[in-house]
Amino acid sequence: MPKTTFKITYNEAKMLMNEAVKSANHHNVPGAIAIVDEGGHLLLLESLDNTMSSASKIAIGKAATAAAFKRPTMDIEKVVLEGRTPMLVLDSVTVESYVPLKGGYPIWYEGKLVGAIAVAGTMDAEMDEVVVLEALKNKTW
């Protein structure tokens, strides 16, 4: 069914969350998965078994950061690692804690930002990326 709004709906967020959980289970990793709306406000949060307690807040922050900057958080992490450390003081640009670490991606529909998703706590930054990208790849709307 075609999307009728330029806002992520609860059902769309739930379908995307299911894909992320399926990916994490497939790779046998723990993790927290957060989905936010286009303003960075939390819509859904799942914390899988054996996930470190701080992962939920990290995932929420990554998702809010991806929404605020309209780009993957790995792009922001790269800028910081290349020496632009003043980027670390931009905490007030997001509704949640600013988290410029891999694992957060904006969600687009027909060129419009509708939300963001992030994964944290898989215990491997590359696996955070794998889980979130597999979920987005399998998005059906």
Convert the pLDDT of each residue in 8-41 to its tens digit. 999 999 999 999 999 999 999 999 999 999 999 9
Complete DSSP assignment for 63-88: HHHHHHHTS-HHHHHHHHHTT-GGGG
CATH class of 10-137: alpha beta
Convert the pLDDT of each residue in 50-102 to its tens digit. 999 999 999 999 999 999 999 999 999 999 999 999 998 888 888 889 999 99
Alpha-carbon distance of 98 to 92, in angstroms, equals 8
Domain boundaries, the chain: 10-137
Neighbours of 8 (CB within 10 A): 24
